[in-house]
Every structure is written in C-alpha cells, then in structure tokens.
Amino acid sequence: SQTIHQWPATLVQPVGSPLSLECTVEGTSNPNLYWYRQAAGRGLQLLFYSVGIGQISSEVPQNLSASRPQDRQFILSSKKLLLSDSGFYLCAWSVDRVIYNEQFFGPGTRLTVL
Amino acid sequence: AQKVTQAQTEISVVEKEDVTLDCVYETRDTTYYLFWYKQPPSGELVFLIRRNSFDEQNEISGRYSWNFQKSTSSFNFTITASQVVDSAVYFCALSENNNAGNMLTFGGGTRLMVKP
C-alpha cells in the first residue's frame, strides 16, 4: 500500500531564516506530487505540483520554491521566510493517469514564523 | 474556469442529528470528477469519495451518503445520526478531465461541529 510522509511535523522559525520541508511517497512509482498551504481557518491553496523528476509548476508567485530530486521526493524551500509564510503545509500525491485522479494527503507540517 | 462553492462556512449540530453539507460546482467540461475530503483536528485530509460526471447514482456508505445532481451542479454530503467524531472541516473538490497534473479545485470548506 502507498504511504506519504512529511517532516518535520511542526516547525518554528524566525523571519529571514531558510526553510526546507520534505515529502516522500512509498509504494508507488511516478506519482504526481503537490504542495498546498492552508492558512489558519482557511481553505487550501495549491503552491506547486510536479508530474515528474525535475518538473515543477508554480501556481502562486511567492518566495517559496519546490524541487523534485527523486521520483518520490518533493521538497519545499525558502531562502528567507516571511511572517506570511506561516501556515499548515500539506503534501499530496496522485496516480499519474487521467481517471481516478483523487489526491492522497500527508500528515502536514505546521510552520510558525516569528 | 472551474469553481467549487461551499456556502456553509460553519455548521453546529447536536449528536444524532442528521446534517447535510452543500457543494455547488461550475465547470465547462462534460467529463469531470467530484470529491469529498474530511480534515479532522489532526490536520490530515482524508479522502472520502470520488464521483465521475457520468454516474449520478447516489451513494451510501454507512452513515454517509452523497447526492449528485447534475441538473443543479450540486454534490451534497449527508451524515446521518451525527457523532462527535464527525467534527471536522469537510472539503468538496472538482477535477476536470484531461487536466495536466490531475489538479483539484477545492471549495472553501465547511466546519462541522457535533456537540454531545
């Protein structure tokens, strides 16, 4: 069966510090991968998605970036965090096919920027 | 462009009451998929159901049931005999056919609070 991992689970970082959040998927090959952000009490905002190694599409311009160095690894980064980067970050995966395209989510990382 | 609207931002019920969460969508595609997710306080989104646009049969799974009405572009979710463990934020989502990356458009979510 497939599982998705995210770490760390929680993170408190000062403004201006770098960020690296990691997401890995097990039990599947060539998944589509996604990063979402959820501000407190708000809906989901898609940040990035990837359909393959090294292929990243950005949905929202910001000071965040994403990379996919391996087939089942997706990393969210920032060189300098802003207060507005605080939120709950969710990684998700889906099977790379047209139908039955539900996404499955990881446990999330709660980021607080002080 | 596709859009999903969950007009109810928050619903509060007492345990054992039935509750319906509304979802209205907009799309120009004739082939699309609709989803419901549950987000409990722990934060992880849990996939509940997928429906494709050609299947308007209502579905029941235990205390959960879904009513898909193409004529009104709605995909409503009913919980029968609600329980405290049903307290969560529920998201409705839409995916159009042939969209690169299988991206989902989410509604804003409905927070359900079930009181004992």
pLDDT of residue A100: 61
pLDDT of residue A114: 96
The Cα-based distances of A109 to A8, A18, B26 in angstroms read 6, 15, 31
Mean pLDDT of B105-111: 95
What share of chain B in percent tops pLDDT 70?
Answer: 97
What share of chain A in percent tops pLDDT 70?
Answer: 96
Please tell me the distance in Å from B48's CA to the nearest CA on chain A. Answer: 10
What share of chain B in percent tops pLDDT 90?
Answer: 73
The rounded mean pLDDT for chain A is 92
Q: Shortest CA distance to B45 belongs to which of B107, B102, B90?
A: B90
How far apart, in whole angstroms, are the C-alpha atoms of residue B5 and residue A111?
Answer: 27
pLDDT of residue B99: 66
For B49, the token pair is 């159901």
From chain B, pick out residues whose CB is under 8 angstroms from the CB of A100: 50
Please tell me the distance in Å from B82's CA to the nearest CA on chain A. Answer: 22
| Beta carbons of A26 and A46 less than 8 angstroms apart | no
Residue of chain A whose alpha carbon sits nearest to that of B111: A41
